[in-house]
Protein backbone atom coordinates (compact mmCIF):
# COMPACT_ATOMS: atom_id res chain seq x y z
CA UNK A 1 0.00 0.00 0.00
CA UNK A 2 1.40 3.38 -1.04
CA UNK A 3 0.98 6.32 1.33
CA UNK A 4 0.73 9.70 -0.40
CA UNK A 5 1.06 12.62 2.03
CA UNK A 6 -0.72 15.61 0.48
CA UNK A 7 0.05 19.27 -0.01
CA UNK A 8 -2.72 21.49 -1.37
CA UNK A 9 -1.51 24.86 -2.65
CA UNK A 10 -3.39 28.14 -2.56
CA UNK A 11 -1.72 31.54 -2.89
CA UNK A 12 1.62 29.82 -2.47
CA UNK A 13 0.73 28.31 0.92
CA UNK A 14 -0.13 24.79 2.12
CA UNK A 15 -3.83 24.71 2.95
CA UNK A 16 -6.73 22.31 3.46
CA UNK A 17 -10.33 22.83 2.40
CA UNK A 18 -13.55 21.08 3.48
CA UNK A 19 -15.40 19.39 0.60
CA UNK A 20 -13.43 21.59 -1.79
CA UNK A 21 -15.08 24.73 -0.41
CA UNK A 22 -12.70 27.69 -0.77
CA UNK A 23 -14.62 29.51 1.96
CA UNK A 24 -13.59 26.75 4.40
CA UNK A 25 -9.85 27.11 4.06
CA UNK A 26 -7.26 26.53 6.77
CA UNK A 27 -3.64 27.57 6.17
CA UNK A 28 -1.28 24.99 7.66
CA UNK A 29 2.08 26.22 6.38
CA UNK A 30 3.48 29.36 4.77
CA UNK A 31 6.27 27.31 3.16
CA UNK A 32 5.03 24.17 1.35
CA UNK A 33 8.60 23.17 0.44
CA UNK A 34 9.40 22.82 4.15
CA UNK A 35 6.36 20.55 4.53
CA UNK A 36 7.63 18.40 1.65
CA UNK A 37 10.98 18.15 3.41
CA UNK A 38 9.27 16.98 6.62
CA UNK A 39 7.38 14.29 4.69
CA UNK A 40 10.63 13.15 3.04
CA UNK A 41 12.42 12.98 6.39
CA UNK A 42 9.55 10.86 7.78
CA UNK A 43 10.28 8.32 5.04
CA UNK A 44 7.61 9.08 2.44
CA UNK A 45 8.44 7.83 -1.05
CA UNK A 46 5.57 9.60 -2.80
CA UNK A 47 4.04 13.07 -2.55
CA UNK A 48 0.64 14.30 -3.78
CA UNK A 49 0.40 18.00 -4.68
CA UNK A 50 -2.69 19.90 -5.86
CA UNK A 51 -2.63 23.45 -7.22
CA UNK A 52 -6.03 24.67 -6.00
CA UNK A 53 -5.62 28.05 -7.70
CA UNK A 54 -4.89 26.17 -10.90
CA UNK A 55 -7.98 24.00 -10.52
CA UNK A 56 -10.11 27.14 -10.49
CA UNK A 57 -8.20 29.01 -13.20
CA UNK A 58 -7.75 26.09 -15.57
CA UNK A 59 -3.97 26.48 -15.69
CA UNK A 60 -1.06 26.22 -13.27
CA UNK A 61 -0.87 29.09 -10.80
CA UNK A 62 1.78 27.81 -8.37
CA UNK A 63 4.53 26.56 -10.67
CA UNK A 64 7.33 28.30 -8.78
CA UNK A 65 6.12 26.80 -5.50
CA UNK A 66 5.97 23.40 -7.19
CA UNK A 67 9.58 23.88 -8.31
CA UNK A 68 10.60 24.58 -4.70
CA UNK A 69 8.71 21.52 -3.50
CA UNK A 70 10.52 19.39 -6.07
CA UNK A 71 13.86 20.79 -4.87
CA UNK A 72 12.97 19.71 -1.31
CA UNK A 73 11.52 16.35 -2.33
CA UNK A 74 14.80 14.52 -2.77
CA UNK A 75 14.04 11.01 -4.00
CA UNK A 76 10.30 11.29 -3.40
CA UNK A 77 8.17 10.76 -6.49
CA UNK A 78 5.87 13.78 -6.86
CA UNK A 79 2.49 13.79 -8.57
CA UNK A 80 0.79 17.11 -9.33
CA UNK A 81 -2.74 18.06 -10.31
CA UNK A 82 -4.95 21.13 -10.49
CA UNK A 83 -5.62 23.01 -13.70
CA UNK A 84 -3.86 20.54 -16.00
CA UNK A 85 -6.05 20.81 -19.09
CA UNK A 86 -3.75 20.09 -22.06
CA UNK A 87 -0.88 17.98 -23.34
CA UNK A 88 1.34 21.09 -23.17
CA UNK A 89 0.50 21.59 -19.49
CA UNK A 90 1.43 17.97 -18.77
CA UNK A 91 4.70 18.39 -20.66
CA UNK A 92 5.58 21.54 -18.67
CA UNK A 93 5.13 19.78 -15.34
CA UNK A 94 7.09 16.70 -16.41
CA UNK A 95 9.88 18.96 -17.69
CA UNK A 96 10.35 20.55 -14.25
CA UNK A 97 10.66 17.13 -12.61
CA UNK A 98 7.16 15.98 -11.69
CA UNK A 99 6.86 12.16 -11.81
CA UNK A 100 3.26 11.97 -12.93
CA UNK A 101 0.43 14.38 -13.62
CA UNK A 102 -3.18 14.21 -12.45
CA UNK A 103 -5.91 14.90 -15.00
CA UNK A 104 -9.22 15.79 -13.35
CA UNK A 105 -11.55 18.03 -15.34
CA UNK A 106 -9.79 17.01 -18.56
CA UNK A 107 -10.63 13.35 -17.93
CA UNK A 108 -14.34 14.13 -17.80
CA UNK A 109 -14.41 16.87 -20.43
CA UNK A 110 -11.94 15.80 -23.10
CA UNK A 111 -11.08 12.09 -23.17
CA UNK A 112 -9.55 12.49 -26.65
CA UNK A 113 -6.88 14.78 -25.17
CA UNK A 114 -6.29 12.28 -22.36
CA UNK A 115 -5.77 9.57 -24.98
CA UNK A 116 -3.11 11.75 -26.66
CA UNK A 117 -1.41 12.38 -23.32
CA UNK A 118 -1.33 8.64 -22.59
CA UNK A 119 0.23 8.07 -26.00
CA UNK A 120 2.98 10.67 -25.54
CA UNK A 121 3.59 10.07 -21.83
CA UNK A 122 2.68 6.43 -21.10
CA UNK A 123 2.24 5.70 -17.39
CA UNK A 124 2.75 9.33 -16.39
CA UNK A 125 -0.89 10.46 -16.53
CA UNK A 126 -3.26 9.74 -13.65
CA UNK A 127 -7.02 10.25 -13.89
CA UNK A 128 -8.38 12.18 -10.93
CA UNK A 129 -11.99 11.14 -10.50
CA UNK A 130 -13.77 13.29 -7.93
CA UNK A 131 -17.38 12.47 -7.11
CA UNK A 132 -20.19 13.28 -4.72
CA UNK A 133 -22.95 10.71 -4.30
CA UNK A 134 -21.46 8.89 -7.28
CA UNK A 135 -21.64 11.88 -9.65
CA UNK A 136 -18.43 13.28 -11.09
CA UNK A 137 -17.54 16.93 -10.31
CA UNK A 138 -15.07 19.09 -12.25
CA UNK A 139 -13.45 22.55 -12.32
CA UNK A 140 -12.52 22.77 -8.67
CA UNK A 141 -15.55 20.60 -7.82
CA UNK A 142 -17.91 23.47 -8.59
CA UNK A 143 -19.46 21.95 -11.73
CA UNK A 144 -21.14 18.61 -12.42
CA UNK A 145 -19.30 16.40 -14.90
CA UNK A 146 -22.59 14.86 -15.99
CA UNK A 147 -21.70 11.22 -15.44
CA UNK A 148 -21.31 8.46 -12.88
CA UNK A 149 -17.82 7.88 -11.48
CA UNK A 150 -17.79 4.20 -12.47
CA UNK A 151 -18.64 5.11 -16.06
CA UNK A 152 -15.75 7.58 -16.17
CA UNK A 153 -13.39 5.00 -14.66
CA UNK A 154 -14.21 2.49 -17.39
CA UNK A 155 -13.75 5.14 -20.07
CA UNK A 156 -10.33 6.09 -18.68
CA UNK A 157 -9.21 2.46 -18.64
CA UNK A 158 -10.24 2.08 -22.28
CA UNK A 159 -8.07 5.00 -23.43
CA UNK A 160 -4.89 3.95 -21.66
CA UNK A 161 -4.99 5.34 -18.11
CA UNK A 162 -3.13 3.00 -15.72
CA UNK A 163 -3.82 4.76 -12.41
CA UNK A 164 -6.84 6.55 -10.93
CA UNK A 165 -7.16 8.73 -7.84
CA UNK A 166 -10.69 8.60 -6.47
CA UNK A 167 -11.88 11.35 -4.13
CA UNK A 168 -15.20 11.15 -2.32
CA UNK A 169 -15.92 14.89 -2.12
CA UNK A 170 -18.53 14.47 0.60
CA UNK A 171 -15.80 13.20 2.95
CA UNK A 172 -12.88 15.38 1.91
CA UNK A 173 -11.37 17.38 4.77
CA UNK A 174 -13.91 16.08 7.28
CA UNK A 175 -11.89 13.34 9.02
CA UNK A 176 -14.94 11.04 8.90
CA UNK A 177 -13.31 8.01 7.35
CA UNK A 178 -12.44 7.03 3.80
CA UNK A 179 -15.05 5.54 1.43
CA UNK A 180 -13.54 2.07 1.07
CA UNK A 181 -16.50 0.51 -0.75
CA UNK A 182 -16.79 3.17 -3.45
CA UNK A 183 -13.02 3.03 -4.02
CA UNK A 184 -13.05 -0.76 -4.35
CA UNK A 185 -16.05 -0.60 -6.71
CA UNK A 186 -14.17 1.77 -9.00
CA UNK A 187 -11.08 -0.44 -9.03
CA UNK A 188 -13.16 -3.51 -9.88
CA UNK A 189 -15.29 -1.75 -12.51
CA UNK A 190 -12.33 -0.16 -14.31
CA UNK A 191 -9.68 -2.83 -13.85
CA UNK A 192 -7.27 0.02 -13.06
CA UNK A 193 -5.26 0.52 -9.86
CA UNK A 194 -6.98 3.11 -7.66
CA UNK A 195 -5.67 5.41 -4.93
CA UNK A 196 -8.23 6.43 -2.29
CA UNK A 197 -8.64 10.05 -1.21
CA UNK A 198 -10.94 12.02 1.04
CA UNK A 199 -11.80 11.57 4.69
CA UNK A 200 -8.87 9.61 6.11
CA UNK A 201 -9.20 10.02 9.87
CA UNK A 202 -6.94 7.40 11.44
CA UNK A 203 -4.59 4.49 10.87
CA UNK A 204 -7.71 2.31 10.86
CA UNK A 205 -8.60 3.77 7.45
CA UNK A 206 -5.24 2.66 6.08
CA UNK A 207 -5.82 -0.85 7.43
CA UNK A 208 -9.33 -1.00 5.93
CA UNK A 209 -7.95 -0.08 2.51
CA UNK A 210 -5.12 -2.60 2.84
CA UNK A 211 -7.71 -5.31 3.42
CA UNK A 212 -9.07 -4.53 -0.05
CA UNK A 213 -5.80 -4.39 -1.96
CA UNK A 214 -6.83 -7.51 -3.86
CA UNK A 215 -9.67 -5.48 -5.38
CA UNK A 216 -7.18 -3.08 -6.93
CA UNK A 217 -6.70 -0.39 -4.27
CA UNK A 218 -3.03 0.55 -4.43
CA UNK A 219 -2.69 3.51 -2.11
CA UNK A 220 -4.19 6.30 -0.05
CA UNK A 221 -3.77 10.06 0.04
CA UNK A 222 -3.61 11.56 3.53
CA UNK A 223 -4.00 15.30 4.02
CA UNK A 224 -5.81 16.91 6.90
CA UNK A 225 -5.24 13.94 9.23
CA UNK A 226 -1.47 14.54 9.00
CA UNK A 227 -1.74 18.28 9.60
CA UNK A 228 -4.02 17.88 12.61
CA UNK A 229 -2.01 15.03 14.17
CA UNK A 230 -4.76 12.42 13.76
CA UNK A 231 -2.33 10.29 11.76
CA UNK A 232 1.42 9.99 12.28
CA UNK A 233 3.11 9.66 8.89
CA UNK A 234 5.89 7.37 10.12
CA UNK A 235 3.32 5.03 11.66
CA UNK A 236 1.19 5.08 8.51
CA UNK A 237 4.21 4.23 6.35
CA UNK A 238 5.15 1.39 8.70
CA UNK A 239 1.62 -0.05 8.71
CA UNK A 240 1.44 0.22 4.92
CA UNK A 241 4.55 -1.95 4.68
CA UNK A 242 2.86 -4.63 6.76
CA UNK A 243 4.32 -3.73 10.16
CA UNK A 244 1.18 -3.64 12.26
Q: What is the pLDDT of residues 161-177, one digit of tens each?
A: 999 999 999 888 888 99
Look at residue 174 in the predicted model and tell me its pLDDT.
83
- pLDDT above 80 (res 195): yes
Query: Which residue is catalytic, options 8, 51, 168, 205?
Result: 8
Question: How many structural domains compose the chain?
Answer: 1
Look at residue 139 in the predicted model and tell me its pLDDT.
74
The question of whether 215 is a catalytic residue gets the answer no
Look at residue 137 in the predicted model and tell me its pLDDT.
87
End-to-end CA distance of the chain: 13
Query: Residue 219: which residues within 8 A CB-CB, separation 6 or more?
Result: 1, 2, 3, 4, 46, 195, 196
The alpha carbon of 10 is separated from its chain's Cα centroid by a whole number of angstroms, namely: 15
The question of whether 31 is a catalytic residue gets the answer no
Domain around 75? 2-240
- pLDDT above 80 (res 143): no
Burial of 162 per CB tally in 10 Å (0-12, 13-18, 19+):
middle
pTM, full prediction: 0.95
CATH of residue 191's domain is 3.20.20.70
More confident residue, 145 or 79: 79
Torsional sign, CA 46, 51, 52, 58: negative
Helix extents (H) in 84-123:
87-95, 105-109, 111-120
Query: Which residue is catalytic, options 53, 130, 172, 205?
Result: 130
Amino acid sequence: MIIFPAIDLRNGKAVRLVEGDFKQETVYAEDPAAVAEQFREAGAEFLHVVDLDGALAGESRNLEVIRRILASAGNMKVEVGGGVRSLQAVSRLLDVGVTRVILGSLAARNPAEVREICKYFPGQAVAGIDAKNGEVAVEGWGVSGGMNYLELGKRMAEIGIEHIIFTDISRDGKLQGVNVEATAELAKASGVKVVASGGVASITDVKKLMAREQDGIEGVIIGKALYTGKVDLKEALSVAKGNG
